[in-house]
Structure 1
Amino acid sequence: MYTNAIENYLKQHSYHHIHLKAVLFDMDGVLFNSMPNHARAWNEAMKHYGMHLSCEEAYLHEGRTGASTINIVSQRERGHDATPEEIERIYHTKTEIFNSYPKAERMPGAWEAIRQMKADGLTIMVVTGSGQASLLERLNRNFPDTFRQELMVTAYDVKHGKPSPEPYLMALEKAGLHPNEAIVVENAPMGVHAGVAAGIFTVAVNTGPLPDRVLLDEGANLLLPSMLALSEQWEELYKELGEE
C-alpha cells in the first residue's frame, strides 16, 4: 500500500532502507485539535491592530514563528516589518485571546498511534513552533510517560522556524539520528516543507480545511486524512517501512 511512497523517498535520497528509530510529531493540529483556536486567535488579534489575517490563511502560516507570521501580514498591509515592540504586543494579544478559549482536546487517534509506536520501541519526539512555558506538563498530562524535555524542539531552541528544516535537523541532532532513522508527522504546509527539506520521510495528516494538494505540493511523502487513519494504518505502514 505504501511501497511506492517509500521507494520514491529512498531513491530521492539515495538511501538503501529506512531504519526507523523515532517519530517526530508536530504538536498543534497533530497531537492537539488546537488549530481552530489558533486561527481564530490570530484573526482577532490582527483585527485589534488594524490588520487582516483570515482563519484559512492562519493554517497556511501554521508552524512559522509568531514574529514571522506578524511580519508577513505587516509587510503585505503596511509595506514594512513590525517593530520588535509591536511583535511582542501583537503576539501577547494573540496569546491572551488563545488562552481565553477552552483548552483543545487531544486529536482523535493521536494517543492510539503513539501507544503503538512506543510498543514498537520507537522514540517519540515533538517538534513545535510553540513557545508555551507549560508545554511539557500539558504533553505529559495527555500523553503519559512519552515526551522528555531533552527530546523536544520548541520556538526557544531554533533561530529559524518552519519552513526552515532547522527544527527537524535539531531534533535529529538531539536524538543522535540520521534522517532515514525517523519519520515526521505534520499537518501544516510549512511543517511538511521543513520535514522534507530535512531529508526525513514526511507523513502529512490533513486535519484542517486546506486542500490535500497544498500539502502534496510541499513534498509530503505520504498523505493521510486524519490522525485516526494513521493510528488505524500504523502497523501496516511500520511493517512496510521496515521491509524496504
Structure 2
Amino acid sequence: MINIRMDIRESIRQFLVSSGYGRIRLKAVLFDMDGVLFDSMKNHTLAWQKAMAARGISADRNEFYLYEGCTGKGTIDQFFRRIYGREADEKEVEQIYQAKSRFFNEMPTVEIMPGIRDILFDLKKYGLKAILVTGSAQHSLLDRLEKEFPGVFLPAYRVTAADVKQGKPSPEPYLRGLAKAGVRADEALVIENAPMGVQAAVAAGIFTIAVNTGPIPPQKLYEAGADILFPDMLSLAAVFGEIVGLFKEEYLCQERRSPTTSE
C-alpha cells in the first residue's frame, strides 16, 4: 500500500507540473463504460469479428480492443480505409453496425466489472459526480445503467456516440462530459481501459487512470498518456479512496506553496 500510495502521489505531482494547473479540486469522475462498468469487451470484440466476417472482412478479434472508444463508424472506417482505401458510406455503416449489435445481443448477458460498486460507493462518500463517457451506442447496456447503478449515471450525465461528432481519441467526448458535469478539467479525473479513450481524456487535459481489463500490452496505455495504470478494477477499487484523499492533499499542498497576495 505504501508503494502504491507513493506511485499515485508522484503521478499526481507530475500531472500538476506537466498540466500547469498547480492544483486540483476534485469534483467529478468520468467513466468509460465497456471494460470499466461492464465486463463486456469480450462480447463486443467477438460481435465485431462476426459482423466484419459477414461483410467478407477477416479481422483479428484482439484488434478491436485497440479501437474501443471509437464510434461504430470510426471502428468500421479503420478497416475500410486499410482494405478499400476509403471510408464506409452511411448504408455500409448501418448494415455492419446492425449486424454487430444483433450478434452482441444474442450473447450471454455481461456482468458488471468487479470492484466498480466499491468505487461508486467512494464517489458517493466524497460527494463526487459520476459522468458516463462512452463511444458506444449499444442500447442493451445503456438501458441497464439505471438498474445496475440506480441514481448514479443519470441521463443528463451521459455522453454516448449519439452526442458527439468525433469519437475518441478526439477530446470531444470528454470535453462534453466536463460540460455536463459543470466542472473544469482540473476538477475531474477519468477512468479508462482503452488506448483511444486514454488519448481522448489526456487531450481534454484530465488526469487519467488506466485500468488494463483486456489483453492490451500495458505499455500501449502508458504510450497513450495514462497518468497511472492498474491491472484490473479490483486493484483500483482497493485504493480509490486513497486516490481521492491524495488529490485533496495535493490540492492543499499546492495552496500552501502558492504566494499570498501580500507578497
TM, length-normalised to structure 1 = 0.97
Do the aligned residues in 2 keep the contact of 1:196 with 1:219 (CA within 8 Å)? yes
Aligned residues: 244
In the alignment, structure 1 residue 213 sits paired with structure 2 residue 198: no
1:193 to 170, 181, 199: 199
- The answer for the alignment partner of 2:158 in structure 1 is 152
Aligned to 1:243: 249
CA contact (8 A) 1:136 1:149 kept: no
Instruction: Say yes or no: does 1:59 pair with 2:65.
Output: yes
Q: CA deviation at 1:76?
A: 1.1
One-letter identity of the residue aligned with 1:225: P
Distance 2:183 2:41 in 1: 29
1:238 partner letter: V
Q: Deviations over 1:24-53 (max 9, x none)?
A: 000000000000000001111101111122
Per-residue deviation at 1:79? Answer: 2.1
Greater gyration radius: 2
CA contact (8 A) 1:52 1:73 kept: no
**Residue of structure 2 in register with 1:142 after alignment:** 148
Alpha-carbon distance in 2 for matches of 1:52, 1:165: 30
Aligned-residue identity in percent: 50
Candidates 98, 107, 111, aligned match of 2:104: 98
**Equivalent residue, structure 2, for 1:127:** 133
Give distance in 1, aligned partners of 2:236 and 2:151. Answer: 21
Report the 3-state secondary structure (helix = DSSP H, G, I; strand = E; otherwise coil) of the residue aligned with 1:156.
Answer: helix
What is the one-letter code of the residue matched to 1:189?
P
Q: Which runs of 5+ in 2 are unaligned?
A: 1-5, 251-263
Q: Is the 8 A contact 1:64 1:190 kept in 2?
A: yes
State how 1:64-83 maps to structure 2 within 5 Å: 64-83=70-89
- The 1:57/1:177 distance shift into structure 2, 3 A limit, reads same
Q: 5+ unaligned residues in a row in structure 1: which ranges?
A: none
Q: 1:113 Cα shift?
A: 0.9
1:181 corresponds to which of 170, 182, 187 = 187
What secondary structure, in the 3-state scheme, does the structure 2 residue paired with 1:55 have?
A: coil
Task: Assess if the C-alpha contact under 8 Å between 2:171 and 2:204 holds in 1.
Answer: yes
User: For the Cα contact (< 8 Å) 1:129–1:154, is it kept in 2?
Assistant: yes
